[in-house]
Structure 1
Amino acid sequence: MKSLIKAVALAVVLAAPVVSFAQSNSSVTRAEVRADLVKLEKAGYNPNGDAINYPENIQAAEARVTTQNFAAQHSGYGPSTNGSSQAGARGEFTASSYSPPVYIAH
């Protein structure tokens, strides 16, 4: 009987770290949760609305938000970029009578 108790205690001790770290990979801050709620409200979801159609209402709002995010990411204009470009003045150019051929057929 003592060996069974020791075996169960050992199994619990070995399994405890696995269970304790099960949800530590995805931590969401309050600001992220509030931002998601604001996006859902802008998409037509009312958290204080009718509770009868709860899952359908929030799923429909999430689908609209996903569609809006997809459209914003895949628009024809592309993402905004931060950068610069430079243009210079034309330098001295000396023309010669010889111009190499542009295309040489083989």
Structure 2
Amino acid sequence: MKNLPCLLAGALFGASCFASAYAQPPSKSDPSAPKTRAEVKADTLAWLAAGYDPNNWWDYPDNAQRAGRIVAAQRAQEAGAGGAQMRPQ
């Protein structure tokens, strides 16, 4: 009887280890997946490089939308260029 709690604890620990070993990271194609801190920092730097100024409240919607379009176009161009390189000749 004294071994039963140890056996149950061991089984629970083994099941949790087994489940975590087969856990998959979120897919990058899923837009609802949470971003990592590095991805958020990279997005912020890309928007700032595209001309977004978070302190410019007068032109807020326009400058944010303009920067968003620039960043989206750059990423589409990078994705297109990457796909062209991976095609067999």
* Equivalenced residues, count: 56
One-letter amino acid of the counterpart of residue 57, structure 1: N
Runs of 4+ in 1 over 4 A off after TM superposition: none
From 36, 42, 56, the equivalent of 2:49 is 42
In the alignment, what sits opposite 2:57?
A: 51
In the alignment, what sits opposite 1:68?
A: 74
- How does the TM-score come out when normalised to structure 2? 0.50
Q: What RMSD in Å do the two structures reach over aligned CA positions? A: 2.6
Which structure carries more helix by proportion?
2
Residue 56 (structure 1) shift:
1.4
Residue 29 (structure 1) shift:
2.3
Give, in whole Å, the separation in 1 of the partners of 2:34 and 2:77. Answer: 27
Larger-gyration structure (1/2): 1
**SS state of the match for residue 79, structure 1?**
helix
What fraction of aligned residue pairs are identical, expressed as a percent?
36
